[in-house]
Amino acid sequence: AIEELDCVRGGFDYDTDGAVIKLNRFDLRERIGNTAKAPRWAIAYKYAPEQVQTRLNSIVIQVGRTGTLTPVAELEPVFVDGSTISRATLHNEEEIGRKDIRIGDTVIIEKRGDVIPGIISVVRHLRPSGTEAFDMLAATGSQCPECGGSIHKDEKFVAWRCVNTNCPAQAAQRLEHFAARTALDIDCLGDIVSDKLVEHQLVSNPLDLFDLTVEQLGTLNLGNEGEPRVFGEKNATKLVDSVERARAMGLDRWLFALAIPELGRTTAAVLAKFHKDIAAVAQSELLQDVIILDELGEELGRINPRSRKNKPASQQEKTEREQRYKELVEEIQKSVARLAEIGFAIVTKENGSHPPNYTTEVGPSVARSLLAWFGSENGRGILQRLVNLGIDPQGTEPIEDGIGKGVFTGKTFVITGTLPSLSREEAKVKIEANGGKTTGSVSKKTDFLLAGKKAGSKLIKAESLEVAILDEAIFLKMCDK
């Protein structure tokens, strides 16, 4: 069936990137059931993406919101999987070197996930003579292409970064990120408006938005002197109103909006579940514990008395190491048990006289990045600015014993479609914060279907089983009870 569909799907009036094989009897579906994330009675298959050849004309360097310098391929335009592609990210210097991609090469590209263009490989026999391997320092002249500031590469990472926190490109990117629907959802603040606000020196930090007036924004020229295009009072009013609404946004949204390096939406939602407010995150003992555990683990590896690579030089050293090893294991066990008790860690295996296998809700790299950011001059300044503005983002913090208690205690949710303001992860956090749980498919055991736009088959199934259906507005009202 998969192969037959692959042969005919090119003639459909719509694009397809895969197929799903389902059991076509509801009684058997009920018997087979679901995992925590997906039904067992359905299997998804992804078709291989279309690949085409084109020429790499040049490599330009873009600066992201955290200062990361990203090389981007400028390609000879080519039609791929429904659209014309002229650019593709090259990720970083190391990735370019691994694939030996050079300007002038004929390259094979595809859309990863049928969405994001990427270079898969180089057609080596078509390479012109005289090409040179890519070098970031040579390509940039050892300075940021946007602000001319210094660039630096940490030994632990593959990316080069602009170290100038006042870099206009970073400021504009941070501003656009701050306003994103998954962050603080500020209307009328896209890339062009962000660029112009920075260009006209109205905003250098996203929190500057709270000082802007409708009068200032209304006259903002989004064009140029020859072809002016005014932002307008109507758009300015929408933007200012959205900024004011953002004051009441939750801690998860604010943490994500601040563009803290290595912090994504999912981790931001986790942090909001375990901390009262943003000040608590900045001084988080949980994050400090994660870092200490990582350091203890590193020391454990170094002093392991049974190490083959680093054997003790004497019996005395072996005895000392054995004692220290025992102390470290006990310390790790106690710390992990304390984190597991509140739900911030999961022990996957106890190992007796050796440290347990465990995972924490936030990893050590992210923990270090967060605490370093809040401890930096920039981070401390933002915290103080929030205080001055009277903004105090609150976490969900529903747990004392690791189990949420609330209006949804004992209830099972399924989330489907696109919600107006919440991501699925954010909705899931709210459900769990109020004692509920989520699953991947609708069944007789489902209590609520939280449905957004384009809900699809799950909505039909819920209606047939008479499952209670909630939209986002009703769901949020229930959360507030």
State the sign of the Cα–Cα–Cα–Cα dihedral 100, 102, 105, 110: positive
- Please give the Cα distance from 107 to 127 (Å, whole number): 9
Contact 293, 417 (CB under 8 A): no
Per the listing, tokens 């002093």 go with 303
Give the H/E segment covering residue 58.
strand 51-63
Q: What are the distances in angstroms from CA 311 to CA 95, 297, 305, 315, 323?
A: 37, 18, 7, 10, 15
Q: Which long-range contacts (CB under 8 A, 24 or more apart) does 461-467 make?
A: 462/414, 467/414, 467/442
- Please give the Cα distance from 356 to 350 (Å, whole number): 5
DSSP secondary structure letter of residue 47:
P
Question: Which residue ranges form the domains of the chain, and what is each CATH number?
Answer: 2-46 (3.30.1490.70), 51-153 (2.40.50.140), 168-246 (1.10.150.20), 275-397 (no CATH), 412-480 (3.40.50.10190)
Residues 6+ apart with CB under 8 A from 120: 51, 107, 108, 109, 110
Burial (Cβ within 10 Å: 0-12, 13-18, ≥19) of residue 345: buried
- Please give the Cα distance from 310 to 268 (Å, whole number): 39
- Please give the Cα distance from 83 to 52 (Å, whole number): 12
Q: pLDDT tens for the chain, 481 residues: list them.
A: 788 888 888 788 887 888 899 999 999 988 888 876 788 999 988 888 889 999 999 999 999 888 899 999 999 999 988 789 999 999 999 999 999 999 999 999 998 766 789 999 999 999 999 999 999 999 999 999 999 999 999 877 788 999 898 899 999 999 999 999 889 999 999 999 999 999 999 999 999 999 999 999 999 999 988 899 999 999 999 999 999 999 999 999 999 999 999 999 889 989 998 999 999 999 999 999 999 999 999 999 999 988 888 888 899 999 999 999 999 999 999 999 999 999 899 998 998 889 999 999 999 999 999 999 999 999 999 999 999 999 999 997 554 444 445 788 889 999 999 999 888 878 887 888 788 888 888 998 999 999 998 888 899 999 999 999 999 999 999 987 6
